[in-house]
Structure 1
Amino acid sequence: MVARDADPTLRALLGRRELRMRLAGEEKDLPPGALDRPTRWVHSSDLDDPTPFLADDLVLLTTGTQFPTGSSYPFDTYVRRLVDRGVAALGFGTEVARDGIPAGLAVACRRANLPLFEVPYDTPFIAVARANAEAVAAQAYARRSWALSAQRAIALAALRPDGLDATIAELAKQLDTWVGMYDAAGELVREHPAGTLTSEASSVLRIEVDAVLRRGARAGSSLRSDTDAFTLQTLGRGGSLRGVLAIAASELDQAGRDVVTAVIAMAGLALEQHQRLSRARTALRSGMVRSLLTGDPALARQISRDVWGPLPAAPIVAAVTDAAGPRTHALIDVLELRADERHGALLYGTLDDDVVIVVPASAAATLEELPTRFAVRVGVSEPVGYAEAGRALAQARAARDRAAGPGLSHFAEVQNRGILSALTSADAATVASGYLAPLRAHDRETGGRLEDTLRAWLEADGSNERAATALGVHRHTVRTRLAAAEKVLGTDLGSFAARAELWTAFHLGG
């Protein structure tokens, strides 16, 4: 980038020898950097309060006609107004209305840390304004020239074998700062210069990148901490982000933004091409998963060995999650990354509306990353051999469907909850309530206790005596109530099937 000392500043303006201007007082008495503040414009005014007509980072010139002689003028108030408005410096034209700079003005500027300089009589204010305007124009030209040169260098970098990495490296070189690219899964996949981020900055940046990707909208944002500042730009289309470009800079000027925009366009194109390749790989992996479900892994084993490496070692577990979520493409990117890292120790594919993952049973803990990062339900099967891959898939789906919320749900846990726990759908509960409705209507209308009696009787394994003891009634009362319940329900409770259906209805119908 263009060096900072080429910017229009008060130091550069005072350095113009033809203007013969000089600083009032010593630079050491000013705050650090006071003379290096950018000066966007030079304006002249002898108004007592010119602030309504001023802008930030402006150098104000005055001849002092607003300062009456022979009386005490509130210089502190005048100077404070200028500082509050964002004026960068004050220039006083001597020998026009006053001989030299008024002492009160010099004292007020010193108190307010506002740079004050003298403009000699034979230096027109217009010459000072023109000199600063020329510096502004020269800087703008230099920035445009730099932007064009940087874009050419980046375009050439994009033609190299690893065009995307070369593009990121060239951007870092042109901006003279750290640049990193995160993929759709939030992983830092490229950075230049490598290894220069602190662990604290890396952690803060990763959290912000994840938040940007979760929002899913195209956007630019800034991130600031106590020690670091970053500019973030999303890559890809809204709703289908392909990653985030991070630059270690608090903000960029227009020329810098133009260069970054060019990189985003090139990176977006490269990532779209990568996405097409990724879809092809996913399709191949999905075919391998389908092959495994036939119970004969020979074809999948041969393809995996030729392309990626051996299949996950048996015994394996199958995992299933939904493939219709808003961040499915990011989830697929993570799985592709993990599959590449593990050289065949992870297999995934899409099947109908599911993403199916196969890993060695010994590595099942690696699946915990998915619900943590993507807030999805992941069902996990019991360990099986490849011949039972179909059964493992069914178990994983059952575990996923029975999960209460995002997280891992293991089939072994679902199985321990019993068969009836798998029937608690809305339809099953509705049917059960309908089955019990006549019984409950009878009790409401007559004040009877048929439902309580049936529950106690079933819990007593069909023993009239034990049910009577639990209810505090005679066993003949229990027998009478059972007969009445059979008539109300239209069933014979002497059969095991009728008892099982009634017991199930009580569990599902509340």
Structure 2
Amino acid sequence: MAGRPDGDPAFQQPNGGDSAWAQELLDQLRPAGRDPRRLVDWLARTVSASVCLQDDRGGLLAGEWLPLDSAVFADVAAGRVSAASLDDGARHVRLVGIRRPGPGPGAGAVLAVARPEPFDRRATEILGRTVGILELLLRERESAESGRRLRRATADLRLAILQLLMVEDTVSARRVAAGLWPGLLEQDSARVYVLEGTAAERDRLADACVDATEGRALVVRCPAVDEHVIVVGPSADVGERLRSLVADRRGTFLGGSPRQRLALTATAYGQAVTALAVARFRSDRYAVYAARTRPARLIDPAALRAWAAAVLRPLDQLPHHVRAELLATTRLGLEFTAVNAAKVLGVSRNTVRARMDRVAALLGADLSRLPVRAVAHAALDTEAAQGPYDLSGGAPGPPTRARLTELLGTSALRSWAEGLLGRLDEDGRDLRGTLRAWTGADAHAERAAQVLGVHAQTVREHVRAAEPVLERRLTAGGTDLYEVVLAQLVTGELPVPDVGTPGPGTPNPDQPDSPVHR
């Protein structure tokens, strides 16, 4: 074994003869050809040898596997010698260390070249020049990989902040954001936007959002929908910047929420998704969640708040952070599917279902029933919008539960409900009757079809036909569907459910979540 210093003339001296290989070697630096594997294959052909490129632990990076002396390989990989020559009588082998970026004597990779003939001046020079090119390519690849790791870590951090906001942990979200984006979440409120493009273009769309907002917004690749990018924008000009971005990108749509408290990020996200559905049918491909009349606005605020507090009172015995986590998860689980809620929160779908089952048991609510989900959603939404019930101001004790039938029996609510559902009466297909059967069957088309004596596909077509008439998404579930169900409760088309006291078998509130098998 003989070591070669880096400055050995054999690795530096130009060849005055055949120079075609030099041009071919330079071609390896063209943008389309920068691939270490391609360069190793070229070296093998050019010097008529077997070539192997390994990392410093012996893993194969390119070329074909060669049996090598482990001690010699270790010396080159560790940087104790920069190169070595071996001759076992049957082949001539050269090992050369490819230096890694940064400090330290070790090699990032080892190039081994074996051929039956000795290395002449031409082969030696080609090998030396190739080592220099390989070092550049490996440095470029390492730099690109470091950039990818940094972008992935930054994306993961943005997602973690969003997930903290989704469960109302604004203190932790601010703490995490302060390290990289100081001041980003200083304001107490923000708007949430959802942009939709194609899954293939989603990364470029997210990068464009980061550039457009100039660090004034939290940009997250949606973990639930591959085509979506979520933007939390505390700054007032974020919306205008995103609208300009969408205007310049065909096939891209933008939905936005009204300004909400950071603790209501999950609510704002649902509103932005609803607005996105509207944006798909608008010429400017942009829509903001409509501030239309909500049934909660037609109920006495104090009575509604007291009712919601009484419904949710069984959860008050839980530690504050556990209660907040359960309620935030349940709100998302009622608004979206358990699978999508799990992706947004960064937990398993079994965890989402376990938390929702725990809440259902504590409230005595059968969340498999659509009317019950609508009522539970109303209670959760009321607390989210108005905050927990405050016993200060003269309230003598815990709120007394008002009957839900009394809250829904006002003339204002009845007028709203009849006006909403009455839109369906103008259609000759009895959309109202189909919708009543469908919601009564907990949104199961097959069960509704059995009740009506029609085909399940007819039920689905009627429900889809009712969506533009009511200006609400029904098949996707969530707030729009629950409003329609509340209207049916008001008009008596559905019986008002009893979201009452917990039944036997209620789990201990201090017991941790457990998986659910369904």
So what's the TM-score if we normalise by structure 2? 0.30
Query: Using CA pairs below 8 Å that are at least 6 residues apart, which structure has the higher relative contact order?
Result: 2
